[in-house]
Structure 1
Amino acid sequence: MSRKAEIPLTVDLGRYLGVGAIHGRVTRDRYKDLILRIQKKLAPWKAKQLSMAARITVVKSVSSSIPIYPMHIELVPVNVCRSLDKINRDFIWGESDEKKRMHLVAWPKLTQPRLSGGLGIRPARPVNLSMLAKGGWRIINDRDSLWCQVMRDKYDKNKEHLEILQR
Structure 2
Amino acid sequence: MSRSGKELLVKSVAQTLPAYAMNVFLLPNKINNDIEKALTKFWWNSNPNQKSKINWMSWTRMEKHKSAGGMGFRNFRDFNIAMLGKQAWRLITNPSTLVARLYKAKYYATSDFLQAKLGHNPSFIWWIILEAKNLLLDGVRWRVGNEKSIKILDQPWLLLTDHPYITSDSQALQD
- Regarding TM over 0.5, the answer is yes
The unaligned stretches of length 5 or more in structure 2 are 117-153, 156-175
Going from structure 1 to structure 2, the CA distance change for 1:87 and 1:97 (only over 3 Å counts) comes to farther
Which amino acid in the other structure matches residue 69 of structure 2?
G
Post-superposition offset of 1:145: 4.3
As a proportion of its length, which structure holds more helix? 1
Choose the corresponding residue for 1:82, options 30, 33, 36. Answer: 33
Q: Which residue of 2 aligns with 1:45?
A: none
Going from structure 1 to structure 2, the CA distance change for 1:62 and 1:151 (only over 3 Å counts) comes to farther
Post-superposition offset of 1:67: 0.3
SS of residue in 1 equivalent to 2:12: helix
1-side partners of 2:49 and 2:82: how far apart? 32
Q: Deviations over 1:27-60 (max 9, x none)?
A: xxxxxxxxxxxxxxxxxxxxxxx11111011011
1-side partners of 2:38 and 2:75: how far apart? 11
Q: Percent identity?
A: 24
The unaligned stretches of length 5 or more in structure 1 are 1-49
Choose the corresponding residue for 2:18, options 54, 64, 67. Answer: 67
**Normalising to structure 2: TM-score of the pair?**
0.57
For the aligned residue pairs, the C-alpha RMSD in angstroms reads 2.6
2-side partners of 1:159 and 1:71: how far apart? 30
Choose the corresponding residue for 1:123, options 75, 78, 96. Answer: 75
Going from structure 1 to structure 2, the CA distance change for 1:69 and 1:107 (only over 3 Å counts) comes to same
Larger radius of gyration: 2
Q: Deviations over 1:94-141 (max 9, x none)?
A: 265851111111211110012222111002111111111121122122
2-side partners of 1:64 and 1:151: how far apart? 31
2-side partners of 1:63 and 1:69: how far apart? 13
**Normalising to structure 1: TM-score of the pair?**
0.59
Q: Which residue of 2 aligns with 1:107?
A: 59
Going from structure 1 to structure 2, the CA distance change for 1:163 and 1:83 (only over 3 Å counts) comes to closer
